[in-house]
Structure 1
Amino acid sequence: YYFTARGARKGLSIEEVVEVAHANGSYVVVDAAAENPPKMKLRYYVERGADLVSYSGGKHIRGPNNSGLLAGRADLIKLAHLQSYPFSGVGRGSKMSRETIVGLVKALEIYLASDEEAEFKEWLHHVEYFVDELGSIPGVEAGITYQRIVETGEPMAPFCYLKLDEGVCGVSGRELVTRLQERDPKIHTLWEPRFLLGPGCEGMMALNPEYMLEGEHEVVVKAIKEILGV
C-alpha cells in the first residue's frame, strides 16, 4: 500500500494504515519526500511500522536534487537494490553517480548536526521582515502563515503570504510573480499555494525563506518594491 504522508491529513493515520495493510499481507511504502523538517521524521514512519520510507535527498536535506534515501526493512531494501546498479533491474537507468552519493551523505551529516530551533527562528525573522517591509505598502496585504507537520499540526516552516489590490498597486499578483521570475537573478515565489493557504488562496502568493542565503531576503523586498514603484 502506497501511503503519501502529506496527502493523508484527512485520511487514516500511518498506524491505522499499517494495521490494516499488514493484517491483509500487504507492505506499506511511505512517500515522505517533503516531510523534513523536523529531523525526527527520518525515523517516524519506520518506528510506526512502515515497511519502506522514501525521502528526497534534495529539498530540506539540501543534498543533490536527484538523490534520495530509502529506509525501512533491510530485506526489502536489498530487493530494491536488485533493481539498480550493478544489476539490470528497472532502476538501473536512474542510478546515482558516486559523486551524488558522496554529496548526499555529506548533506545528511550537516542536516543531522544542524540546530533546528535556531534555523526556525532565522526563517521567522526573515518572514517578519517581509511582512514589515511589504505590508506597509498601499494595496498590499501581508501576513505570516505556517506549513505544519501533518501528524501533530505543529509549525514546520513559516511563510509570508501577499495579496495585491491591483486597483491600488497597478500590478496584479500574477504579474508580480511573473516579473520576479524574469529578473536577474530570478526570484521564484509560490502562486496560489493551496497546500499552504487552503482553498481560499485565489490571488495570493507566498515567499519561502527556507533556502535563502544571508541578505537574499533584502534582495527580494527590494525587487518587489521596484516592480510596485515604491
Structure 2
Amino acid sequence: MIDRRELLRVLGGIPFLGGMASTAVMGSIVEQSWLRPIIGRERDLFKELGLRTFINCAGPFTSMTGCLMPDEVLDAIKRTGQDYVDLNALHDRVGERIAKLLECEGAVVSSGCFGAMSIGVAGVMTGTDREKIQQLPNTEGMKDEIIVQESHAGGYSHALTNIGAKLVTVKTAADVDLAVNDKTAMMWFLNKANNKGELDDKAWVALGEKHNIPTFNDCASDIPPLDNLFRFTRMGFDLVAFSGGKGLRGPQSAGLLLGKKKYTDAARLNAPPSVNIGRGMKVNKEEIIGMLIALEIYLAKDHGEEWKMWEAQIALIKEAVDSVDGITSEVYLPEIANEVPTLLVTWDQEGGHATYAEVRKKLRMGHPAIEIWPHDTDMQITTWMMEPGQERAVAYRVKEVLAEALS
C-alpha cells in the first residue's frame, strides 16, 4: 500500500507522465483506503467534528450561520467553482446586473453588510484618488468625520472607524447643523434604530441634502419586506447596504452595497482584489454569483404565499404552546428589522418555574435541537429560517419542554 511520503513523490511526477500513466496512478491513489474518507460524498462532517445541527426558530443570526441557501444558489456556487474568471470583470458585470434589477445607479457585492459599510465609507472619503486609497487608514488631508445619532452608534460603527473615520455623535437636527464642517465626509444611519432617535430616515436624508453631505443607510437585517431593496435609494440615501445571508438567502459572507454610481465605483477601488484597506474583505467568484442568483430568486418568488406559510407555521406552534397551563402567547410583527410573524411566549418566572434561559437551553440540548431568540427576558420563536415541515417537530417539542417547565 502506498504511504503518504510515496504519494507526494508520485504526485510530484504526475505532470511529466503521459495521460494513461497519470490516470493509472491517480486511480491507484483513489483506491487507497486512507483516502476514501477524504473524497467520499457520504460524510457527515458536522458529526465528525462533534457538532450538532439544529432547527432555527430564531432567525438569520450570524452566530447561527445565517440562512440556508436555496438549491439553485448552491448549484450556481458549485458550477462557478469549476472555472477561472477575471475577478474585476466579474464584479463589474454582476454589479451592473444587480443595479439594473434594483433600479439604482450602482451596486457592489461586498463581504457582508459590514464590509459594504467599510468600502462604502472608504470610497466616500477617497473618491477615485489612488494616492488617498493607498493612504488609508491615515486620513490626513481627507474629510474623515462621520455624523451619527447617539442612539445609532455601537458595535456596527466599527465598520466605519476601522478604515480611519472618526464618529461625531448628535441627537437633534440642530446638533447636525452644528456638527457639519469642512471635515464632514458622510452621515450614517442604522435602519433598525429608525424608531430610537429623534431623526428618522427621511429627516436624515433631508439634512444630508441641506448640507450637501452624502448619507448612508445600514439595512443589514431589513429584508423582508421586498420594497426595502428599492425604497431607501429612492428615498435619497446615497448608499445603502444589505446583508446577503439573511432574508435574501444568499451566502452569509456576502452583502450588497447600492447607491450613487460615483460612490459605488469609488468603493470598488477600495475593495479587493486591489491591495488596499479593503484587501481582507474578499468575496470569491462563487459568492458573487451566489449572491446574484439569490437576489434573482428573491425578486421572483411569491412573497404573499411565503407569508401565508409563515403565518400557518406560527399558528401551529402557538396552538401547541397555548395548550400548556400558565402560558401567555401572542403573535406580533416587529416594527423594524426581521419583519416576520413572531411568537412571543411568557409565563410567571416565580414559584419554582423554569426561567427563559433554562427553557432555551433545554430546547438547544434536546432532540431535535432547537434554537430560539437569544433573550433572557422572554421567549420568542420565528419560522422563516425553518425548512417546511419542521414546524410540527418544533410544536411538539416546545409544548413538551414548556409543560415540564411549568409543572
TM-score, structure 2 as length reference: 0.50
Aligned length: 217
**Shift in CA distance, 72/223, structure 1 to aligned 2, threshold 3 Å:** same
Task: Give the superposition deviation at 1:191.
Answer: 3.9
Listed as ranges, the gaps of 5+ residues in structure 2 are 1-186
SS of alignment partner, residue 212 of structure 2:
coil
Measure, in 2, the Cα distance between the counterparts of 1:81 and 1:15.
Answer: 27
Task: Give the superposition deviation at 1:228.
Answer: 3.8
The CA deviation string for residues 161-212 of structure 1, in whole angstroms up to 9 with x for no partner, is 11133567843222111111223543111144xxxxxxxxx73110011111
SS of alignment partner, residue 331 of structure 2:
strand
Between Structure 1 and Structure 2, which shows a larger proportion of strand residues?
1
SS of alignment partner, residue 61 of structure 1:
coil
Task: Give the superposition deviation at 1:118.
Answer: 1.1
SS of alignment partner, residue 94 of structure 1:
coil
Query: Which residue number corresponds to residue 3 of structure 1?
Result: 189
SS of alignment partner, residue 206 of structure 1:
strand
Query: Which residue number corresponds to residue 287 of structure 2?
Result: 100
CA contact (8 A) 2:194 2:336 kept: no
Query: Which residue number corresponds to residue 390 of structure 2?
Result: 216
Measure, in 1, the Cα distance between the counterparts of 2:211 and 2:353.
Answer: 59
Measure, in 2, the Cα distance between the counterparts of 1:109 and 1:169.
Answer: 51
Query: Which residue number corresponds to residue 195 of structure 1?
Result: none
AA aligned to 2:359 is L
Measure, in 1, the Cα distance between the counterparts of 2:335 and 2:298.
Answer: 19
Measure, in 2, the Cα distance between the counterparts of 1:35 and 1:203.
Answer: 23
Task: Give the superposition deviation at 1:61.
Answer: 0.3
**Shift in CA distance, 62/39, structure 1 to aligned 2, threshold 3 Å:** same
Query: Which residue number corresponds to residue 82 of structure 1?
Result: 269
The CA deviation string for residues 120-149 of structure 1, in whole angstroms up to 9 with x for no partner, is 111111111111111111122222111135
Query: Which residue number corresponds to residue 181 of structure 1?
Result: 364
Matches within 5 A, 1:111-122: 111-122=298-309
Q: Which stretch has the larger CA shift, 44-53 or 138-147?
A: 138-147
CA contact (8 A) 1:85 1:92 kept: yes
CA contact (8 A) 1:67 1:100 kept: yes
AA aligned to 1:159 is T
Measure, in 2, the Cα distance between the counterparts of 1:117 and 1:41.
Answer: 16
Listed as ranges, the gaps of 5+ residues in structure 1 are 193-201
Query: Which residue number corresponds to residue 17 of structure 1?
Result: 204
SS of alignment partner, residue 16 of structure 1:
helix
CA contact (8 A) 1:85 1:95 kept: yes
Matches within 5 A, 1:1-230: 1-10=187-196, 11-149=198-336, 156-166=339-349, 170-192=353-375, 203-228=377-402
SS of alignment partner, residue 157 of structure 1:
coil
The CA deviation string for residues 77-128 of structure 1, in whole angstroms up to 9 with x for no partner, is 0111111112112111011111111111111111001111111111111111
Question: How many percent of aligned residue pairs carry the same amino acid?
Answer: 28
Task: Give the superposition deviation at 1:158.
Answer: 0.8
Structure 1: 4+ residue segments shifted above 6 A: none
SS of alignment partner, residue 69 of structure 1:
strand
Task: Give the superposition deviation at 1:229.
Answer: 5.1
Measure, in 1, the Cα distance between the counterparts of 2:388 and 2:277.
Answer: 42
Measure, in 1, the Cα distance between the counterparts of 2:350 and 2:190.
Answer: 41
Q: Which stretch has the larger CA shift, 159-168 or 91-100?
A: 159-168
SS of alignment partner, residue 137 of structure 1:
coil
Measure, in 1, the Cα distance between the counterparts of 2:315 and 2:352.
Answer: 21
AA aligned to 1:27 is P
TM-score, structure 1 as length reference: 0.86
AA aligned to 1:172 is T
AA aligned to 1:32 is C
SS of alignment partner, residue 340 of structure 2:
strand
Task: Give the superposition deviation at 1:66.
Answer: 0.8
Greater relative CO, 1 or 2 (CA 8 Å, sep 6+): 2
Q: Which stretch has the larger CA shift, 117-126 or 177-186?
A: 177-186
Measure, in 1, the Cα distance between the counterparts of 2:403 and 2:204.
Answer: 53
CA contact (8 A) 1:191 1:204 kept: no
SS of alignment partner, residue 142 of structure 1:
strand
Query: Which residue number corresponds to residue 99 of structure 2?
Result: none
